[in-house]
Amino acid sequence: AECALLQASLAVGRQALEEGAFGKAKRCALEVAGGGVSEDPEVWLLLARAHLSLGEHVEAAREAQKAIALDADTLDAYTLRADALVGMGLAEKAMRLLRDGLQRDPDNEAAAAALRRLKRKAAGHARVREELQEAFRLRRFEAAAALCAEGLRLDSDDKRLAAGFYADRAKAYQLLARSRARGETRREREDAAA
């Protein structure tokens, strides 16, 4: 009877997740896990999805890891953990995890698409970072601020990268303000850098 109750709670949790009631889904999954059904990777996946939907990236990554430990062939857990890692600012680790998952199932389209998306974002960030360094070197502070905005548009979910772009944007505006306070024009700044 208790097993049927736990299964019903799991079904309610799945339904709540689909309806966007993430807190309810989390409570149901915790109830099932606490009820002794902790050997089922689906319970941990449900809990990880609820955590991720609530923006609780560390908890989502931990619960997805539990699902992987229980069944290493559950590729949904790999993609879910990768999403959580990206939210924590660990995009490189997320890419390694997805590569590991794809070694288990090379035909998994969700994992392959997530890896392609991460690679595209990483390439975009690398390009913006290079151009940003060049803009600072050439004392083109307006361009540096614009590049920071572009970097933030590429991916604002990665907290670590976003923090770096926010800091660089603030630095660009600060340097621009100092330059203007000294009465320098854009051409004078750029000529001084050359």
pLDDT tens, residue by residue, 140-189: 999 999 999 999 888 777 777 888 899 999 999 999 999 889 888 878 87
Residue of 39, 120, 32 lying closest to 74 (CA atoms): 39
Look-up of token digits 């004078």: 188
pLDDT tens, residue by residue, 78-99: 999 999 998 888 888 999 999 9
Residue 1 has pLDDT above 60, yes or no: no
Lowest mean pLDDT among 23-27, 44-48, 156-160: 156-160
pLDDT of residue 3: 63
Tokens of 110: 């969700």
Q: How many CB atoms within 10 Å of residue 121?
A: 18
Burial tier of 127 (Cβ tally within 10 Å: 0-12, 13-18, 19+): middle
Structure confidence at residue 194 as a pLDDT band (50, 70, 90): low
Measured distance CA(33)–CA(186) in Å, rounded: 62
pLDDT of residue 192: 76
pLDDT tens, residue by residue, 110-141: 999 999 999 998 898 899 999 999 999 999 99
pLDDT of residue 112: 93
HSE toward the beta carbon, residue 132, CA cutoff 13 A? 23
CA 180 vs CA 93, 104, 133, 143, 174: distances in Å? 42, 57, 21, 15, 10
pLDDT tens, residue by residue, 47-77: 898 889 888 899 999 999 999 998 888 889 9
Look-up of token digits 């505006």: 173
